[in-house]
Structure 1
Amino acid sequence: MMIKPIDIANQLDISTSTLRNYETKGLVPIPARSSKGYRIYTDVHVAYFTCIKAMEPGFGMDATSEILRYMQCKEMDSALRIVNEVQANLHRDTLLAESNIQILETEYLSIRDAQEMIWMTIGEVAEETSLPRSTIRHWEKVGLILSSRDPENGYRRYSRSQLHKIMLLRTLRPAVYSLDLIGLKQAIAEMDPSDIEHAKRIAHQSLQFLFKIKREQLSGVYNLYKLCRLLNLID
């Protein structure tokens, strides 16, 4: 049965140009054409389009694109490998977010920093957070964190409170781009180092944001499962 692009677009609340864009990028099977040149979309195309719409919020467009290209080649195991990798990364980041909350619940170093001025070099911060130095420098460049300069050698140095900011940002580093993510990063950047309660609230918000992504991933996997069933890749 031929399904009109406008009907699919209305069903998924996207534009017909978005459908064509997905097709151009190779994310759905190439549709046949009618004698008048119109695209002949089928239930399979609808399933692919639905899968894209469902998976993108939780997996991001890059991973979603790779997954659906594998599906067109009937390489379901390769597609599931990517799904598992993205989910494993999110689980890792959730554990990091929970660890951040525990640290903030037990440490009050942001207040003590002002008195003791405990400084860490960028190398020490990179080792503590398992982040590349380039990432730390980038966050400083865009204004998410601050450093001062060692008066003896001019090297960057970071307070413990800035380390807390970096640890919060680390949990959001691979998260799918969204307005919520932008808002969280901005809240971290504007966080008052002396306000430990504010820091804890942001840490809890970051954790809830990651849980939201987990729920979005569940919806994406459910629609991927339905696509696999339609393609007779699983019983």
Structure 2
Amino acid sequence: MRPIDLAREHGLSAQAIRNYDDAGVLPPTTRSEAGYRRYTPLHAQALRAFLALRGGHGHRQAMEIMRATNRRDTESAYRLIDAAHVALLAERTTRTEVAAALGTLSAATPAPADCPPLTVGELARRLGVHPATLRTWETEGILRPERDRSTGRREYGPDGVRDAEIARQLRRGGYPLRQVAQFVESLREAGGTQALSAFLDAWQDRLTARSRSLLTGAAQLDAYLAMLDRM
């Protein structure tokens, strides 16, 4: 087969096939007398495996898995695959914990409007964080404390406390400050529960899609390994 023959199945260019070949994604090829690359069904399956792996592992990781497989270092390939599953399980657990925590927050009865606002120190103790953390969250736009008119000190009312508690849970889930700020802002704009539900649903959808992609990649890689075993 020619590069274009492999490319057609996936809507790729012949140059992309040559690039994957040079990168070690495909097993070694032979050349015709005229110097053209010759591909076989083994190369076609290697390409299927790589493209399927890319959906769950990402481009770089999929490339490393295929390189290890092609040099018959299956131990390294399996370690990369196992690491991806471990990371996905950890994220799935985090999503469950965040959903439970945020669900509790969203379902909780808001503090009375006449409840005294919290100071930086009081809110920090409530959350178990350092006061400097709250100031950092304010700088990033996550928190918007009011100011006491007489003293100028920061004050956190019910909405501010809610935003801070949500930020704490998301940070525990590994989310960077930029994404936490975006979520809290969308939560404010949507009025709370709508954004919360959409956020958790989208996260779950991403986890489900990645799990399926990992399974698809594993199936294609298994087919490729079976072909290698018969050689």
The alignment's TM-score, normalised by the length of structure 2, stands at 0.71
| Segment of structure 1 superposing worse, 190-199 or 219-228 | 190-199
Following superposition, the deviation at residue 110 of structure 1 comes to: 10
Task: Please give the per-residue CA displacement for 1:11-35, whole angstroms capped at 9, x wherever unaligned.
Answer: 0222222212212222222321111
What amino acid maps onto 2:47 in structure 1?
A: F
Letter in 2 for 1:15: S
Q: CA deviation at 1:161?
A: 2.1
* Aligned residue in 2 for 1:55: 53
Q: Is 1:94–1:210's contact at 8 Å kept on the other side of the alignment?
A: yes
Report the number of matched residues.
Answer: 205
Structure 2: segments with no counterpart, 5+ residues:
155-159
Which one of 4, 9, 12 corresponds to residue 10 of structure 2?
12
SS in 2 for 1:35: coil
- Please show how residues 1-235 of structure 1 align to structure 2 within 5 Å: 3-108=1-106, 112=111, 116-117=117-118, 119-120=123-124, 124=129, 146-147=142-143, 160-162=162-164, 164-165=166-167, 167-168=169-170, 188=183, 190-193=185-188, 194-232=191-229
User: 5+ residue gaps in structure 1?
Assistant: 126-132, 175-183
Instruction: Tell me which residue corresponds to 1:179.
Output: none
TM-score (ref. length: structure 1)? 0.70
Aligned residues with identical type, % of pairs: 22
Shift in Å, 1:232 = 0.3
Q: Which residue identity is paired with 2:166?
A: H
Deviation at 1:204, TM superposition (A): 2.1
Q: Is 2:163–2:184's contact at 8 Å kept on the other side of the alignment?
A: no
The Cα of 1:159 is off from its aligned counterpart by: 5.5
Q: Which moved more, 1:220-229 or 1:110-119?
A: 110-119
Question: How has the CA–CA distance of structure 1 residues 67 and 30 changed in structure 2, closer, same or farther, with 3 Å as cutoff?
Answer: same
Q: Superposition RMSD on alpha carbons, in Å?
A: 3.8
**Which entry has the higher C-alpha Rg, 1 or 2?**
2
1-structure distance, mates of 2:5, 2:181: 39
CA contact (8 A) 1:120 1:160 kept: no
